[in-house]
Each structure stands twice: as C-alpha cells, then as structure tokens.
C-alpha cells in the first residue's frame, strides 16, 4: 500500500487564512497524487504547519510536549481520513508512512529528541537527583522523567489499532456486544451511600494515598478544548471528535470529557504500527522524590524557593499566617484565581505548591502545608549545624531528606497496609540495591486504574475535630463537595489542625462490592474548568477506555490469576453474587469488563485494602519505582549508615507533631485509635537527629576558605576528583559564564568564580 498511496500536492499556505481548521486543511489537498518523496515531505510540513497555527498554547515544559504530541497525532489522523475519502476504505498510519516519514513528522511537530546516555556525563547528575528526573538512569535518561510516556505492561487496545478509544464508535461490538456507557455503569453498580464500620485504619491512610499518587503520576488532558476538525467546543458537543470524547448520560445529554494528551513519537522498533500507537504522558516524575513539594521542572522549582533569603528554604505566604505564626503555602502568581472563596472579608486565592492539584480538597492542602514547614524546619537546623554550607547545599540536602521521608512513609508504613504483608513480600520483597535495568516509569494501568482504588474510600463527610478529637465547635464537619477548591477554609477556619485531627481521628470508610463510590463524587464532583458537576466513576471508566487499557481478564492473566469465564467465577472473585450478576448483565461478556471496575469490586485479600489484581499491579509498580531509583534512600552512597539509622526513626506522626499544634497522636497515625486511651504525647514519638548530617570543615576548606558566592546562582561541594571542588550552576533563566568548576589547590581556588547572565 505504501507504494500505491501517494500524498497530495498542497499549494502555498497563507498566514491570514480564516475558517475552521478542517476547512483550511481541506483547501490544501489537490486531486492528484504526487510521486516524489520531496513533495510527500512538503505535504507533511504543510499539514503540521496549518495545525500548529491553529493552537494557541506555546508554553514550555508540559504544554510544549503536549502540543507537539497533539500536532503529531492530529497529522496522522488527517492522513488516515484523507486516504479513507480517496480510496473508500480504512487505513492505519503505518499503511501510509515509512519510518523516514514518521521521523520527519516528529521533527516538524517539534517532538523532543530521544535522550542518549551522553546527556548524563555532566557531574551535576551525580550527587543530587535532577528536578525533572532526567538522568536518574544514566543509560536511559528518560526513564521515570517528567513529560515522558506512561509505560505499557500490556499492549494498548484501540478500536482502530492506533488511537481510537474503546467506545469511540458507539455501534462497534466487542466480543459480540456494545460496551455499556460509563455513566450507566456508575449509576447501576457504583453509585451508593457510604457504609461505615469500625476500621483498623484512619482517614489519613486514604488521604496519604491521594497525596503520594500526586508524587508519582499526573496525566494532563488535551491542551485544546475544541475539536480539531470542526472547532466545536468539547464542553458543548456530544460527538466523538478528537480530543472530545463525551460521556453519554441517561437524559440524551452528555458529560464533557477531553482525551489525555498524547506523547510524541520518540521510539523505534520492528513494528511501526505499535510504535505509532497513542501513548499518554506522565507530566511529573515517576519517582517518589517529593516532586509535589518541589516541582518537576527547573522553572517551577525556582518559583517555590526562597532564593532572596539565601537560606535554602521554600517560599511562604506573605499575607497570612496561622495564629501561632506558622506558615501557609504561598498563593498562585496569577490572580484572581479559580478557587472558591469566602464571601466575607479578605479574598483567599488558590495555594501554590509543587503539584497543581494541591487545592482539590482540604486534606491535600494540609499535607502540602506540613511538608513546606518540614522542609523549612530541617533547612534551619542544617544551616545552624553546617554554617559553611551554601544555600544551595542546604536546599539540596533538605530536599534529599524530605524525599527519603516520603519514600519511607510510603513503602514502610503505607503500601503494606494497602496490599497486605503477604502481597508485599511477594511483589515488592526486600531491597537488594539499585538495578539500572529496571524502568521506574509509572505504568498506564497503575496510573489509570490500579492506584485509583482509593476513589472507593472517599468519605461523604470531611471531619474537622478540636483538641479533644471531637467535632469542632466553631468549624463543624463539611460535606465533601463543600471542601473542593476551598483554601479559604484553611486560612479563615482554624488553620490545618482541625482538618489534620479529622484525618487522624476518623475511621476510614471500607469499600464493599455493593457500596463503591459515594454520591459526593459521583453526583457532586467539582472540576474547575467545567460548569457542571462531574461523576468520578464515569471519568475513571472513560479514562481507561481513552487510554486503550486492556480489559479486566487480560490483567488477571498478566498477574497469573485465573480468568473470569462464568457468573460463578465472577461471583467468587467479587464475593457478592448480586453485584456479579449486575456487572455481567451490563457488560454481557467477561472480557468486556473495564479493569478499574473489575479490580475495584474484587474481594479484599486478608489484612489489605484491595483484591488480588490491584495488589499485584500496585506491588509491581512500587517495586519498580524503588529498584529503578538511583537515589533511593537505601541505595549505596546516597546516605551514610548513621543517616539511614536516623531516617528510620521518622514517621508521619512525627512530621505532624513538629509542624502543627497537635500535641497528642497515635504512634502510627495511619491506624485508627480511640482518643485519649490510644494516643501518646508528641514527646514520646521518636525523632531523627540531624546531627548525623553534621559535616566538619575539611582542611582544604579551612585553607582555601569558602568559594565566592555568585548572583543568580550558587555552588555545591564535590570531591569526585579527590580534591575539594566547588561546582557552580545558575538558577533557571540564567546561563553560566566562566568556569563551572573551581578546585582548591595550594590553599587557593584555581579560578575566579563564574557569573550568571540572563539567557
């Protein structure tokens, strides 16, 4: 077919054209084919050029990568549509293009170049992890890095083999049946009133799951809110036209839904069709590295730091403090912001943190605030202990400690409670050191299905408790939807303590197959960029189809579990024959069951919060994140043995004690305990000693003195060559002029300090 098919000659493109994108593109196609490769490439160039001018987002980092990916995949779709019109049959992009064409299209779309090992030769990638995760793995620099594709553990299943989601062609049959609309599944199976019971775990366990998920995955939606072909607004159409993939509702209406941003072509392989399959972006690093505190790109990181203070600390809110003087998160730069606000008194804007989802619920704001304060608390102490450290060293060492605490709390205290000790030993196991052959990237099924198990444990009520862990007299409990995007409730309603006590002192709801998601998130979910209440269950199901996730049975097979073939099989897996019958009556065939729903309804394993499928998928992901991280806290050379011993004393309870007014707490705040019998005073909670980070001045440093500080940049120390070396770098937006490294030799530094000039 590649020999028979030719692309069409296109006239010059004017920059002042009007009309819709589809009109402008159709005007570019002439009737006759052309025969030479040069003109074929000219078509690709003009096809991308037209679409590039039709988008308005040209911002860096994630928006830039998303924009390039959408250009690339839109051009592929244009080619397929035009070929279908001309030859009256369906084509895949791999039918029409050669590897050379694809490489050119990627270049014209401005897809990022593949990163090779030579990128990681610079010394700055040795001592501290990069903010973007690049070069954590030296041989595969993009593994686990921000703005790279979610990895596939099983091949994607798209209706056209390349990018159309399941359910895109609504009359299409899957195993002989149409897929049930996600909203119908939500209404008939998932919607419920929450059923409570006394539980071993506190609400904090649920909230930590959401928090740490925001450290690992963030899949951005399409940067466009209008359809590529017709410019129809995705918020107003019920038609499936890229990137709009609306969710049907019972009232012959629809719920708006935009597809996830695609990744660009960056790989090669023997199967061109598989290489051209649509993959989704992870906008943040896949590592547990506290990126939700510090950001995931250099430009972001700089906005969160208190650079003028020359103290290695993070910036704090300059308008509000708690009554006791403790800091709040800073506000976003662009105001007025989209967050809700109290109608009385001074306006409170959205908070700003390393992850943009910080304002979603009060629990996230409280946890983000804790870690802002913890960073600044540690930085203050390190500055006292090591007065010869530069602000950059203080910042990087503090960031390294905070990242380690996130790893320990998650892997030691959180994950075993979620998947059970038996599954933890089976799928994660003991740490045996860094393995450079392990790809730590987040998998598509983990981000889109398995780690969304926690949506079934969201309570309808957000508890706010007083110092006696009773309902707060001034700030009573809230319906969950009343807490969405409401940072003003933290500033004006008692700070983070009422919310934190509610997280610690309230039992987490328990998931049942006949009681999955509460109506607060299936009927009243607030999303800032829409004017209608959304349904979290429908969004999850539609997102899985958008990503082409294989069905529940395929993933059971992947994990070595028996496949579901009959109603009896499903009833056994679910533990509720009535729910199993409802599911099969909707899906008609076991292979059609969406993986998120199938995993969610499974019987819990003993002493866990998930069934066998999600235990497998979560366990495998956590193992790869740990083993594929060169900077994992237990890896050789990351911390000294004395420092590791101190880190092991840390706990989330201790972080809460050190950074709030809470004075009594359970030793393990993830476990629900009765107040006051099972609470202890904060003085009884072990604390790590930062004395383990004391570093005496070396003889060389005493002889040479401190290196000269520079404006808009700083230095860290290294001894990689056996000699004391100061490594200089500039803050984002500046470039280094002069020697990046100066060496202490003969009681003097080898060169003058460099300078940082604006880029």
- Convert 645-694 into a string of H (helix), E (strand) and C (coil): HHHCCCCHHHHHHHHCCCCEECCCCCECCCCCCCCEEHHHCCCCCHHHHC
Whole-angstrom distance, CA of residue 397 vs CA of residue 726 = 16
Quote the CA–CA distance of 94 and 71 in Å, as a whole number.
17
Residues making up the binding site for heme b: 455
Cα–chain center distance at 680: 35
The answer to whether 70 and 278 have CB atoms below 8 angstroms apart is no
The dihedral sign for the CA sequence 145, 549, 213, 349: positive
Measured on CA atoms in the order 390, 367, 300, 121, is the torsion positive or negative?
positive
CA distance 485 to 491: 13
Q: Which one from 73, 214, 368, 547 is the annotated catalytic residue? A: 214
Query: For the range 393-396, what are the long-range contacts, defined as Cβ-Cβ under 8 Å and sequence gap of 24 or more?
Result: 393/312, 393/716, 393/717, 394/311, 394/312, 395/305, 395/312, 395/313, 396/127, 396/128, 396/312, 396/716
- 481 catalytic? Reply is no
Residues in the chain: 759
CA distances, 274 to each of 157, 214, 313 (Å): 11, 29, 46
CB 9 within 8 A of CB 43: yes
> Taking the CB of residue 749, how many other CB atoms lie within 10 A of it?
20
Q: What is the largest CA-CA distance in the chain?
A: 84
How many other CB atoms are found less than 10 A from the CB of residue 1?
Answer: 11
Cα 427 to chain centroid distance, Å, stands at 22
Q: How far is 151 from 144, CA to CA, in rounded Å?
A: 10
Q: Phi and psi for 738 in degrees, rounded to 5? A: 115, -170
Q: Which long-range contacts (CB under 8 A, 24 or more apart) does 376-381 make?
A: 376/313, 376/314, 376/316, 376/327, 377/658, 377/659, 378/402, 378/690, 379/311, 379/312, 379/313, 380/311, 380/313, 381/690
Ordered DSSP codes for 145-214: -TTEEPB-SS----TTSSSPPTTSSTT--BTTBPPPPHHHHIIIIIEE-------SBBHHHHHHHHHHHH
CA 519/CA 525 separation, integer angstroms? 9
Residues 6+ apart with CB under 8 A from 441: 143, 144, 148, 149, 150, 151, 282, 286, 624
Q: Tokens representing 478?
A: 């809230």
Among the listed residues 570, 623, 568, the one whose alpha carbon sits nearest the alpha carbon of residue 599 = 570
| Token duo for residue 207 | 């909230």
DSSP 8-state code for residue 714: E
Show which residues are catalytic: 214
């Amino acid at each position: 077919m590649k020999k028979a098919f030719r692309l069409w000659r296109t006239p010059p493109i004017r920059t002042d054209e009007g009309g819709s994108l589809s009109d402008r593109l159709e005007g570019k196609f002439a009737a006759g084919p052309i025969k030479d490769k040069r003109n074929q490439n000219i078509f690709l160039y003009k096809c991308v050029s037209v679409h590039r001018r039709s988008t308005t987002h040209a911002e860096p980092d994630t928006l830039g990568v998303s924009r390039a990916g959408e250009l690339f995949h839109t051009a592929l779709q244009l080619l397929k549509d035009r070929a279908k019109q001309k030859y009256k049959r369906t084509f895949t992009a791999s039918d029409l293009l050669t590897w050379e064409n694809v490489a050119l299209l990627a270049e014209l779309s401005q897809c990022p170049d593949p990163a090779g090992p030579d990128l990681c030769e610079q010394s700055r990638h040795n001592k501290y992890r990069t903010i973007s995760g690049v070069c954590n793995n030296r041989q595969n620099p993009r593994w686990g890095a921000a703005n790279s594709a979610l990895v596939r553990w099983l091949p994607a299943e798209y209706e056209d083999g390349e990018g159309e989601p399941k359910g895109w062609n609504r009359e299409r049959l899957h195993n002989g049946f149409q897929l049930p609309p996600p909203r119908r599944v939500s209404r008939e199976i998932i919607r419920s009133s929450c059923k409570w019971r006394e539980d071993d775990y506190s609400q904090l366990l649920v909230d930590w799951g959401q928090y740490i998920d925001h450290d690992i995955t963030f899949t951005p939606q399409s940067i466009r809110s209008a359809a590529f072909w017709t410019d129809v607004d995705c918020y107003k159409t019920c038609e499936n036209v890229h990137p709009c993939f609306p969710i049907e509702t019972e009232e012959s209406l629809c719920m708006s839904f935009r597809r996830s941003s695609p990744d660009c072509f960056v790989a090669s392989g023997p199967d061109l069709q598989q290489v051209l399959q649509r993959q989704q972006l992870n906008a943040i690093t896949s590592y547990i590295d506290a990126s939700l505190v510090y950001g995931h790109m250099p430009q972001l990181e700089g906005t969160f730091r208190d650079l003028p203070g020359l103290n290695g600390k993070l910036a704090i809110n300059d308008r509000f403090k708690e009554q006791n003087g403790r800091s709040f998160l800073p506000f976003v730069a662009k105001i007025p912001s989209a967050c809700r606000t109290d109608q009385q008194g001074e306006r409170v804007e959205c908070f700003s943190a390393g992850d943009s989802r910080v304002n979603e619920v009060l629990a996230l704001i409280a946890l983000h605030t804790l870690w802002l304060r913890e960073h600044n608390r540690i930085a203050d102490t390190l500055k006292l202990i090591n007065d010869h450290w530069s602000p950059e060293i203080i910042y990087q060492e503090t960031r390294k400690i905070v990242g380690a605490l996130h790893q320990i709390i998650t892997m030691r205290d959180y994950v075993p409670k979620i998947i059970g000790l038996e599954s933890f030993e089976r799928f994660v196991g003991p740490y045996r050191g860094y393995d450079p052959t392990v790809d730590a990237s987040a998998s598509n099924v983990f981000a889109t299905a398995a780690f969304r198990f926690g949506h079934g444990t969201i309570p309808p009520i957000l508890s706010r408790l007083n110092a006696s862990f009773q309902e707060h007299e001034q700030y009573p409990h809230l319906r969950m939807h009343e807490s969405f995007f409401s940072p003003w409730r933290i500033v004006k309603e008692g700070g983070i303590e009422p919310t934190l006590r509610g997280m610690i002192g309230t039992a987490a709801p328990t998931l049942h197959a006949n009681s999955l998601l509460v109506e607060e998130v299936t009927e009243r979910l607030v999303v800032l960029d829409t004017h209608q209440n959304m349904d979290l269950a429908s969004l999850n199901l539609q997102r899985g189809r958008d990503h082409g996730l294989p069905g529940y049975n395929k993933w059971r097979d992947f994990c070595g579990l028996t496949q579901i073939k009959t109603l009896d099989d499903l009833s056994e897996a679910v533990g509720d024959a009535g729910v199993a019958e409802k599911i099969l009556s909707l899906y008609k065939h076991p292979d059609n069951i969406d993986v998120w729903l199938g995993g969610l309804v499974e019987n819990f394993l003993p002493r866990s919060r998930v069934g066998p499928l999600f235990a497998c998928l979560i366990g495998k992901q956590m193992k790869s994140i740990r083993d594929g991280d060169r900077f994992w806290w237990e890896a050789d050379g990351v911390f000294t043995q004395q420092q590791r011993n101190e880190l092991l004393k840390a706990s989330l309870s201790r972080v809460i004690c050190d950074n709030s007014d809470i004075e009594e707490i359970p030793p393990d705040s993830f476990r629900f305990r009765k107040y006051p019998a099972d609470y202890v005073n904060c003085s009884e909670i072990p604390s790590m000693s930062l004395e383990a980070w004391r570093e005496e001045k070396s003889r060389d440093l005493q002889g040479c003195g401190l290196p000269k500080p520079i404006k808009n940049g700083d230095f860290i120390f290294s001894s990689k060559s056996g000699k004391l070396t100061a490594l200089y770098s500039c803050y984002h937006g500046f470039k280094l002029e002069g020697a990046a490294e100066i060496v202490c030799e003969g009681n003097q530094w080898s060169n003058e300090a460099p300078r940082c000039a604006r880029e």
